[in-house]
Chains A and B, each alone.
Chain A
Amino acid sequence: MLKRIIVALAAALVLGAGSAWADFQLDVREFRLDNGLTILMLENHTAPVITYYTFYKVGSRNERRDNSGVSHFFEHMMFNGAEKYGPKMFDQALESKGGQNNAYTSMNVTAYYEDFPVEALELVFDLESDRMANLALEEEKVKSEAGVISEERLVGVDNDNEGIMYEELFATAFIAHSYGAPVLGWMESIRNFNRADCVEYFKTYYAPNNAVVAIVGDIDTQKTLKLAKQYLGGLPPGPPPPRVPRYEPEQRGAKRVFIERQAEHEHIMRGYHIGDKDSPDLFTLEVIQFILTTGESSRMHQSLVNDLQLALYQYGGFEWGLDPSLFYYYVAVAPGVDYEATERAFDSVLNELTDNGPTPDELQKAKNSLTANFYKNYKTNNGTAHELARYQTLYGDWKAMYNFVPGVEAVTAGHVKEVMERYFKSKNSTTVILVPEGGQS
């Protein structure tokens, strides 16, 4: 539930977007079962629908050189049959009751969700407990799924210019840490996974004490807790997952990689090593990302796309990493333009922000927009459940989400300059350039 106060009409433009949400509080109920499973619940009775998220604290960062992609592979296997609901039955059972589901794997987490009508709640508990406890992992299904994921890789990486560049960027930037391997895995890994790999992985990571469940929607908290205990309370906890080596040596100089492929124009991707989710620079980086790359008023768009016409479009981003990660930019070089001209303009934009910092209006605009975007995450059951589970998984406390708005609000122009100087320097950069094979058309 959200308590809100009415604010004077003009206040937000003066005080910042956060003032409209000054009393934002969610009435989240938090439970910890004896087996270590954390369950978050939020009642919302406006429609007879529910979202159920399960986050497992495992992603590609937990992988080794010889099993890259196993987290994502395993995500697929979670839909391929368990003890009670055999192959094909998970989707069939849920969809036939009017529900939909999906999942994703990132460098840090693996997340599963279901959106469904109220009367399917017990079914969803049954489905989730079945696969958390007794995944079948049939050898035949492992082989078949390898084909599916090979095709996923072919469409998203091998036959996609931006996909190839992203993979190359991380593989080049990280020489020790597992963030250097692609979430989808290398093709060789995908084709060679076997049942034993999956069983080992299941035992290691898919235990209730390594998971967070968030349920948001038309629920009765106490009745839902009873169901949670009935279906999930009896699952045995697993051993603590092995520690991930955080080591990544400091980069000692700029790295550059060229890719030649069939393309209509040149492309640039650039990454800079940054800190992790606990870095004091996290919110400043959010502000920097907004100022540089978000929307038509951003500096990169205004300079590269609008004024100089050296790029078609651009974007930037970073994942809040459990370990120090990478801030990356992408620029689609305008057809007929040499990437070097675009890259020079790109560097000028970075240097300008580093040297002079943001203007007061620019800083306030970033804060207002980031604050508004933060709250927009809570417009739906699915968005709300996702954010609760994400914060709980990353920080061990969903209430860490309340740090976002004050954190962004506290960023100063001085912080922006300091952080730009600290990270956005040539020595810390990895650049991937994709040029059309045989020259531009």
Chain B
Amino acid sequence: MKRVMIIVSMAVLLSSAVTAKITLPTSNEFKLDNGLTVSVIERPQLPLFSLQLTFRAGSTFDPAGKEGLASLASDMLMRGTATRSDKQIADQIAFGGGTMTNTCGFVAAGFNGEFLTTQGEQAIEILADLVRNSTFATEELEKTRTRTLGFLQSRRENPGTVANDAIWEAILGDSRYAHFSGGLSHSVQALTRDDIVQFAQNHYTPDNCILVVCGDITTASVREWVTKYFGDWTGRAVLAPEETSFPTVTGREVVIYDKQDATQTQIRIGGNGIPLNHPDYPALEVARTVYGGTFASRLMDEIRVNRGLTYGVSCRASRFKPGGLLYVTTFTKNATVAEVIDIIFSEAVRIQEEPMPDSELADGANYQCGTYPLDFETNDALASVFANMWLNNLDKSFYEDFQERLRAVTVPQAMAAARSYFPRDIYKLVLVGKADEIKSQVEKYGPVTVRPFTQ
């Protein structure tokens, strides 16, 4: 009998999370002859393990006019195999206490699962069956399509969701990252079974994925099961070239999505950000934290704490290989829309032009450094980290050096990052609210287009 900690372990050198350098746990990697990459991180503290199978098969691989194909193909992987119905798949996973879902984002698609240690072989066997033997049956495809179309329609009920979709579209224009990864109604409607089968053949191949297993499981066991169930899997990926850059936002544009019954307006303001692994990242992250990244940030302080105009305001940054975007997100009652937007701009200008006190810079870096270990606490989180390294060709230093790079940021560097990326003169402004009550308030920010709330 062994006494162990209740939390999965994380190797951290030194004595303090603020000053510690994160060290990722050892991953035992091996490759099958067919090209399948497997990474095992042994963490035996709890009788649980997580797995992630990640393909380069996200929505940015959708051919033009077939938006939603990657997502629909990914959904179909759970809809039945040669020997299991979709209900049997769900039943067998849940019977032993496990969970598994299919996922599809912009770049990656695949599976995330969490199982009891005792389900080890069963989990790998089911996973292999889904990936290798899905039938993409026509009847199931039509059901999944109908549900997908319903979801796409249902998303349009929520003002926050509509605002988020709209700001991505406004900033990214004709980029493949501009629309929700689930696709567009008209394109999903037109997808055929042949499209899905072709997509699967081109993307769900052993040389185009990584299987990460993390938790109470041994490398030897994983190697045995993966060899047994994936060893004779064949196929070679045929991938469309990935996007290399995002469109550049120029000028100013204001778009109102008119929701006649809205008593509150959703606000999004932003523009281009930075790509993954860009040298400006640490400086921008510190500046973003001070501007709108915490409860004590300047935006929260002025808009929520001092004036009581919102429940939440934050500055968000998303980064991908070809580029990124940065935008402020908040909401306020219709009458105070301009007041809130003015503050968003004035606080951006303040960070860009007035050197922040050294203590505020340090606080921003400390917050990021101190909360950073929480990103590595669970099996799921670590599996994501290792999958992300494979997906984006990153090495451990990307994660392990991050705190050190944050602490090295100077006030001039943070100001320069804010000048380059915070919204000020060039931006897209999206509002979801009652046009009659907000249009006159926002005309000063640029040419206004009013669109119906539901498109």
| Chain A residues engaging chain B, CB cutoff 8 angstroms | 1-5, 7, 9-13, 17, 19-21, 23, 26, 42, 44-49, 79-80, 87-88, 91-92, 95-101, 115-120, 143-152, 154-155, 158-161, 261-265, 295-297, 302, 305-306, 309, 312, 332, 334-335, 361, 364-365, 368-369, 371-373, 375-376, 378-381, 384, 437, 441
Contacts and interface: CB of A to CB of B under 8 A. Distances in A.
- Binding site secondary structure of chain A: mixed
B397 interface: no
B227 interface: no
A361 B91 CA distance: 9
16 contacts: A11-B118, A19-B118, A20-B118, A46-B7, A46-B10, A79-B295, A95-B294, A98-B369, A101-B295, A118-B16, A145-B308, A148-B308, A296-B87, A305-B147, A335-B153, A335-B154
B363 A95 contact: yes
B262 A159 contact: yes
Interface string B292-307: 0011100001001111
Interface in B118-177: 118-122, 143, 146-147, 149-151, 153-154, 156-160
Interface in B2-41: 2-10, 12, 15-18, 20
A87 B95 CA distance: 51
Contact of A49 (B305, B333, B373): B373
Nearest to A362: B91
Interface residues of B, number: 89
A159 B159 contact: yes
Given A13-B119, A20-B118, A91 B97 contact: no
Given A151-B332, A158-B264, A302-B87, A21 B7 contact: no
A376 B116 CA distance: 10
User: Which of A101, A143, A372, A381 has the most chain B CB atoms closer than 10 A to its own CB?
Assistant: A372
Interface in B253-269: 259-264
Contacts, number: 267
B438 interface: no
A45 B309 CA distance: 42
Nearest to A294: B94
Interface of B: 1-10, 12, 15-18, 20, 45-48, 78, 86-87, 90-91, 93-99, 114, 116-122, 143, 146-147, 149-151, 153-154, 156-160, 259-264, 294-296, 301, 304-311, 331-333, 359, 362-363, 366-367, 369-371, 373-374, 377-379, 453-454
B158 to A, nearest CB: 7
A100 B371 contact: yes
Contacts of A379: 6-8, 46, 48, 377-379
Given A368-B97, A375-B46, A44 B7 contact: yes
Contacts of B308: 143-148, 150-151
Contacts of A5: 1
A151 B334 CA distance: 11
Contacts of A10: 118
A296 B78 contact: yes
Contacts of B309: 147, 151
Nearest to A302: B87
A130 B150 CA distance: 51
B4 A2 contact: yes
A344 B212 CA distance: 44
A342 B366 CA distance: 52
A12 B371 contact: no
Contacts of B378: 379-380
A219 B366 CA distance: 21
B304 to A, nearest CB: 6
Given A3-B1, A87-B305, A297-B90, A306 B370 contact: no
B257 to A, nearest CB: 12
A5 to B, nearest CB: 6
Contacts of B260: 262
B7 A381 contact: yes
Contacts of B96: 12-13, 17, 368, 372
